[in-house]
Amino acid sequence: MGKVVVIGSYVADLMSRAPHLPKPGETVLGGPFQMGPGGKGGNQAAAAARSGSNVTFVTKVGNDLFGKNAIEHFEKEQFNTQFVKVADDEATGAALIAVDNHGENHIVIAPGACGTMTSEDVLEADGAIKDGDIVVLQLEISLSAVKTAMERAVIHNVPVLLNPAPYQEFPRELLRHVTYATPNEMEASELTGSDVTDEESAQKAANTLHELGVKIVIITLGRKGVFLSEGVSSGKIVPAFQVDAVDTTGAGDAFNGGFAHAISSGQSLEDAVQFGQAAAALSVMKAGTALSMPQADEIKTFLSGHVEGIQ
């Protein structure tokens, strides 16, 4: 059982379905409305915990209703919440999500309290980082907090998984600290300046990331699967599992949390990728984000029916 340390965002997801995503200036009648736990950090923590890992979550929420709901959710998911801070002067973050009839989405995030996380908040969790099997990071918190987390993980010889989402500019020298980078096509394009549209362009982007210091590049390609590269010009497509999507929100988070669990629990790289893809496939078959993350037995059953040799 892996020990996964997730340092990142928590926001309350406020979601409604609509027949189509609104154009600029358009109001669309939708429904029903659903509220639940979210944020890339929270989603990935939930995915890793439900997959079977011991999860420590480092984040910040407000002293409000959404914050109280967050703490209840963390306890239910059995996170170690020792390093969850409650801010009296900031509201809990929120994400405004619209999902259309094809499962595609538009999302606007107000980071709130988690957007005020500092290097000091991360340093308080240094013991957990040292004791972890992997540190999982995203870009929904301050870059100073991300940088400190990477540096402490490197000092303690703990692998770093960076999901560079939502993309924002950051110093490229930080990539030398990254063991696993998991951008999607758009994020890989932003990171490298090369449009990712097919296997050849994915390898070009992966080569750039390797040259910047990333050890293993995993570019998530949605329905096409992932492009997995362990070194310059060594990549390949690992096909996705084809399912009928209800809501694609959080699919990337399901992959990252599932992969973090699998790789930190001793699975091979390719098996861990398939485990993450199974978690993502199962997540899109349900509405919601954190609450749509599958349990370990669901993932094992799914894999046994889709991958030869899985028992």
Annotated binding site for substrate: 11-13, 39-43, 140, 253
Name the DSSP letter for residue 184: B
Q: Which residue has the tokens 């998911």?
A: 77
Residues 6+ apart with CB under 8 A from 42: 8, 9, 10, 11, 57, 59, 70, 73, 290
CB 39 within 8 A of CB 9: yes
Strand, helix or coil for residue 134: strand
Between CA 82 and CA 58 the distance in angstroms is: 8
> Which residue out of 133, 244, 253, 297 is catalytically annotated?
253
Q: Which residues are annotated as a binding site for ATP?
A: 184, 220-225, 252-253
Strand, helix or coil for residue 213: coil
Burial tier of 242 (Cβ tally within 10 Å: 0-12, 13-18, 19+): exposed
Cis amide leading into 19 (omega within 30):
no
Burial tier of 40 (Cβ tally within 10 Å: 0-12, 13-18, 19+): buried
Residue 121 catalytic? no
Name the DSSP letter for residue 80: B
Report the relative pairing of strands 3-7 and 134-137 from DSSP bridges: parallel
Q: Count helices and strands (H / E) in the chain.
A: 10, 13
Q: Please, what sign has the CA dihedral across residues 194, 196, 199, 202?
A: positive
Between CA 82 and CA 284 the distance in angstroms is: 31
Q: Which residues are annotated as a binding site?
A: 11-13, 39-43, 140, 184, 220-225, 247, 249, 252-253, 283, 286, 288, 292
38, β-bridge pairs: 11
35, β-bridge pairs: 14
Q: Which residues are catalytic?
A: 253
